[in-house]
């Protein structure tokens, strides 16, 4: 990486005890709960994208909405904003029903930064599913709020 061709932002997440990093192609980082007894493993995935200069978070939300609407019982809540370590994020919760898992709930956080003619987009996705959705969702939100971005 250089000033002319910078690399992706550095991202850290405080992974709690009982979770481990996993390798997922196309991600900056990913982690999941270890011992789930065969149930859906709560997980967090961070992806980075470089998009055209006219790209907006609104467009990212529209792409996500199209994805969710293709799922059984797919729903998308109203977007919200929050700030983590002085970085503004737009967040949204989505859910659907999976035949194998049952209810799946995802929390998405998007942060973008213009760099010349492009936009660097960071997407943090936390997922919970099955019978443990209500129990796991709060701890997933807490984990996602430990995301730190360094540019």
DSSP string, 55-67: --HHHHHHHHHHH
Output the tens digit of pLDDT for each of the chain's 151 residues. Answer: 677 777 777 899 999 999 999 999 999 999 999 988 888 999 999 998 888 888 888 989 999 999 999 999 999 999 999 999 999 999 999 999 999 999 999 999 999 887 777 888 899 999 999 988 988 999 999 999 999 988 7
Tokens 């003619």 belong to residue: 117
* pLDDT confidence of residue 104: 96
- pLDDT for the residue numbered 119: 81
Residue 72 DSSP SS3 = coil
108 closest CA partner among 133, 121, 90: 90
pLDDT for the residue 106: 97
The answer to whether the CB of 105 falls within 8 A of the CB of 127 is yes
pTM of the model: 0.91
d(CA 149, CA 151): 7
Q: What is the pLDDT of residue 125?
A: 97
How confident is the model at residue 140, as a pLDDT?
Answer: 93
Amino acid 37: pLDDT: 84
pLDDT at 124: 96
Cα 64 from Cα 92, distance rounded (Å): 10
Strand ranges inside the chain, DSSP E = 10-12, 19-21, 29-33, 43-52, 75-76, 80-84, 87-98, 102-115, 118-129, 148-150
Do the beta carbons of residue 129 and residue 107 sit within 8 Å?
no
- Say what the pLDDT of residue 115 is: 75
**Cβ contact 65:57 at 8 Å:** no
For residue 56, what pLDDT is reported? 85
Q: What's the Cα-to-Cα distance from 82 to each of 56, 72, 94, 110, rounded to whole Å?
A: 17, 29, 17, 10
């Amino acid at each position: 990486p250089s000033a002319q061709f910078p690399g992706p932002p550095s991202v850290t997440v405080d992974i709690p005890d009982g979770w481990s990093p996993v390798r997922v192609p196309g991600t900056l980082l990913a982690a999941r709960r270890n011992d789930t007894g065969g149930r859906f493993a709560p997980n967090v995935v961070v992806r980075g994208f470089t998009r055209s200069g006219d790209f907006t978070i609104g467009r990212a939300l529209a792409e996500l909405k199209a994805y969710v609407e293709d799922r059984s019982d797919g729903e998308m809540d109203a977007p919200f904003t929050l700030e983590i370590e002085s970085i503004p994020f737009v967040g949204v919760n989505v859910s659907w029903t999976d035949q194998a898992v049952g209810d799946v709930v995802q929390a998405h956080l998007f942060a973008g930064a213009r760099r010349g003619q492009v936009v660097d987009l960071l997407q943090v996705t936390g997922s919970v599913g099955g019978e443990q959705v209500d129990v796991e969702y709060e701890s997933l939100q807490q984990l996602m709020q430990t995301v730190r971005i360094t540019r």
